[in-house]
A and B are shown apart, each in its own frame.
Chain A
């Protein structure tokens, strides 16, 4: 292994080119002056101008952000509860079914999740009169359901690593179970909760298939708007929209990664300090 693995480095370079050239090409062509999306006709920012003055795009973005904020928050609460349950309650009736239920949505093909939700909502409307109309509420409910299991996975992985002794110490000192959770467990796993929320947020913001099945008249999320346009082909304004979305998410994820990394390092340092001062 002392030798430089030339072959592997070459493959890595090609691999990363494969990952990023399509995205870079899309960004470059978003500044294309030509109406033909794939033929270069000089530099221009006109597609960004027309994008920002397009009401349909702005409305879809607002709807998507609303759904993503609400569904990520509920998904984080429910997913965290499920993650803690899986890690701390090793024996309860129905645990086998429960551990199956938090994995199944991860591997279920999106088409099937979408179609079963749609059939469910239609039949519920038929039987009990709810939901009267599909749209914001049904999309949000569907998003909570399939993004909470991602949060559960993250929280569970974090809980398994975390030191249970701290929780037991708090119990021994007389804290009640719910106090232990709010004062000890949740602060310890807070970085995982933040990453869970971010993941649920981006999953919701990005979803096409399940939204397409659970939406109703008048409720067009941004991915659904893009979906309906993209089916007709490549257009310069979608290039501009894609560029804005990719850059926002890229910058956001890198920033969140750096911040979470620092917080985690500080926490570990604090923990070490606390243990040392006990000696």
Chain B
């Protein structure tokens, strides 16, 4: 009898509880809790103890100093500005390159399309670190790629401007270039998804009514793909702004991005509250693009 009651309880309550509870508990303990600790840490006081923070006692319970420094100290403001600028420029270039590629993908034959789509996705699976590394080989002073660009430059400009090699490594240009390279698939895929759904009859109708091809593009195709553009743009912007690997390897060390600042505050300065405050500030900054993204993502899915 009791076994039957247990079975009924298990079917009705226990089983769903297990199914929901296990991943829920995992994420609460290993994701939410650490995150809340960081949020709490951002208003703690940095001390010389181990671990290096403290609340209460001789220190204030809530210490706003880290946040005050984030919004007043030039170091942090410059880092935020560099991050936003690099991520924004990378997003624009991803859009400029990704849009015609996504449009091209919708125009090739079906069998080609599957192969090309796989070629877009394949870099996702190969190591991110190694894709950044591949560009280090190309941008270096003695590389064939740099040599080729240098020759082209020297051919095009007056003799006085001639250079031995183009200084690409350790610049914001290098950061943006590698960001475009690594995040371009994030732009192409949502754009392709939204362009593929468009009704080709609309294009033909516009053509029949006498529109020129570029007018058809501007009046018919482009407006309908805005949700895909915004979704792809945010998918590039959000991870690019918090990027750590790319600026560390190819960026300019004297113009650090915000990810590097967080790492240095934590590791080298051992100032956990400051690192946490910068992290929280970065997240607050991310809220706006994330909301734009989910708004347009819902729109893009709704128009199916």
Interface on A for B, CB 8 Å cutoff? 1, 3, 5, 7-9, 11-12, 15-16, 18-23, 25-26, 29, 36-40, 78-79, 81-82, 84-85, 89, 92, 94, 98, 101-102, 104-105, 107-113, 115-120, 122-123, 126, 141-142, 144-146, 148-149, 152, 176-178, 181, 202, 205-206, 208-209, 223, 226-227, 230-231, 233-234, 238-239, 242, 245-246, 249-250, 253-254, 257
> Beyond A22-B135, A94-B24, A230-B136, is A209–B249 a contact (Cβ under 8 Å)?
no
Residue of A nearest to B294 (CB): A103
Within 8 A of A (CB), among B256-293: 259, 262-263, 266, 272, 275-276, 279, 282-283, 286, 290
Q: Which residues of B contact A206 (CB under 8 A)?
A: 127-129
Q: Which residues of A contact B128 (CB under 8 A)?
A: 206, 208
* Contacting residue for B127 out of A29, A116, A246, A253, CB 8 A: A246
Q: How far apart are the CA atoms of A105 and B282 in the complex, in Å?
A: 15
| B15 close to chain A: CB less than 8 A | yes
* Shortest Cβ distance from residue A47 to the other chain B in the assembled complex, whole angstroms: 13
* Contacting residue for A233 out of B28, B136, B184, CB 8 A: B136
19 A–B contacts from the bound complex (CB under 8 Å) = A1-B200, A8-B107, A12-B104, A15-B184, A22-B137, A26-B133, A40-B144, A81-B20, A84-B19, A105-B31, A111-B242, A145-B27, A177-B16, A208-B245, A226-B133, A245-B127, A245-B130, A250-B122, A257-B118
Q: How far apart are the CA atoms of A40 and B143 in the complex, in Å?
A: 9
Q: Name 17 extra pairs, CB < 8 A, besides A26-B137, A123-B37.
A: A1-B203, A12-B100, A12-B116, A15-B104, A21-B138, A22-B135, A25-B134, A82-B23, A94-B24, A111-B244, A111-B263, A119-B41, A227-B245, A234-B133, A242-B130, A246-B130, A254-B122
Q: How far apart are the CA atoms of A94 and B100 in the complex, in Å?
A: 43
> Beyond A9-B104, A19-B184, A29-B137, is A115–B23 a contact (Cβ under 8 Å)?
no
Q: Is the CB of B34 within 8 A of A119?
A: yes
* Shortest Cβ distance from residue B245 to the other chain A in the assembled complex, whole angstroms: 6
Q: Is the CB of B31 within 8 A of A245?
A: no
Interface centre among A12, A144, A202 (most CB of B within 10 A): A12
Q: Which residues of B contact A101 (CB under 8 A)?
A: 24, 27-28, 31-32
* Shortest Cβ distance from residue A251 to the other chain B in the assembled complex, whole angstroms: 11
Interface on B for A, CB 8 Å cutoff? 7, 10-11, 15-16, 19-20, 22-24, 26-28, 30-35, 37-38, 41, 51, 97, 100-101, 103-105, 107-108, 116, 118-120, 122-123, 125-131, 133-138, 140-145, 181, 184, 200, 203-204, 213, 238-239, 241-245, 248-249, 259, 262-263, 266, 272, 275-276, 279, 282-283, 286, 290
* Contacting residue for A22 out of B138, B184, B282, CB 8 A: B138
Q: How far apart are the CA atoms of A20 and B249 in the complex, in Å?
A: 20
Q: Is the CB of B286 within 8 A of A109?
A: yes
Q: Is the CB of A120 within 8 A of B34?
A: yes
* Shortest Cβ distance from residue A8 to the other chain B in the assembled complex, whole angstroms: 4
> Beyond A11-B104, A109-B259, is A85–B26 a contact (Cβ under 8 Å)?
no
Q: Is the CB of B262 within 8 A of A145?
A: no
* Shortest Cβ distance from residue A25 to the other chain B in the assembled complex, whole angstroms: 6
* Shortest Cβ distance from residue B34 to the other chain A in the assembled complex, whole angstroms: 4
* Contacting residue for B133 out of A38, A98, A176, A230, CB 8 A: A230
Q: Which residues of A contact B38 (CB under 8 A)?
A: 112, 115-116, 119
